[in-house]
């Protein structure tokens, strides 16, 4: 059995970063998930949204070709294709009434829509 520490990506290979507030919210959400094999936060990019590409985040198991990093105690996996679009991004969480929730700050996005959930590369 492979442990997280054995598969953790070195700091220079970290694709996305989590702020402490995002990590805290994700850890709380994971604690409410049913007991299953190791679940990680999967961050990905797919076609769609009003700007051409959109972000996605789900709890998922690790796949063989995933890049894995542990940030603030949260395991984060990103597939190789999404890594090309997400490298250097930071995920934050805000509890503000207006505009609260998860936000992805992506330095690779040339433009993004007003909702912040889609972008063009």
Q: Tell me the pLDDT tens digit for each residue of 14-32.
A: 899 999 999 999 999 988 8
Q: Is a pLDDT exceeding 60 seen at residue 11?
A: no
Nearest CA among 63, 78, 61, 57 for reference residue 13:
78
Q: Is a pLDDT exceeding 50 seen at residue 6?
A: no
Predicted confidence band of residue 91 (pLDDT cuts 50, 70, 90): very high
CA distance 96 to 101: 8
Mean pLDDT of 90-97: 89
Query: What is the CATH topology of the domain spanning 13-120?
Result: Hypothetical Protein Aq_1857; Chain: A; (2.60.300)
CA distance 41 to 98: 25
State the residue for tokens 């070195």: 10
Q: Tell me the pLDDT tens digit for each residue of 39-83.
A: 899 999 988 766 678 889 999 999 999 999 999 999 999 999 999
Mean pLDDT of 96-112: 80
Note the pLDDT of residue 36.
66
Note the pLDDT of residue 112.
62
Give yes or no for a contact between 14 and 91, defined as CB atoms under 8 angstroms apart. no
Note the pLDDT of residue 117.
53
3-state SS assignment for residue 94:
strand
Predicted confidence band of residue 114 (pLDDT cuts 50, 70, 90): low
Note the pLDDT of residue 8.
42
Distance of CA 5 to the CA centre of its chain: 19
- Burial class of residue 106 (count of CB atoms within 10 Å of its CB; 0-12, 13-18, 19+): buried
Give yes or no for a contact between 55 and 117, defined as CB atoms under 8 angstroms apart. yes
Phi/psi zone of residue 59: left (φ > 0), alpha (ψ -120 to 50 degrees), beta? beta
């Amino acid at each position: 059995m492979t442990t997280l520490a054995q598969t953790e990506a070195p700091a220079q290979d970290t694709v996305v970063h989590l702020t402490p507030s995002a990590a805290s919210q994700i850890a709380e959400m994971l604690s409410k998930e049913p007991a299953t094999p190791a679940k990680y936060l999967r961050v990905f990019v797919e076609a769609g949204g009003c700007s051409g590409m959109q972000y996605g985040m789900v709890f998922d198991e690790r796949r063989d070709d995933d890049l894995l990093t542990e940030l603030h105690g949260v395991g984060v996996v990103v597939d190789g294709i999404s890594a090309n679009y997400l490298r250097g991004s930071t995920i934050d969480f805000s509890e503000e009434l207006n505009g609260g929730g998860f936000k992805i700050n992506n330095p690779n996005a040339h433009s993004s829509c007003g909702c912040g959930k889609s972008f063009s590369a």
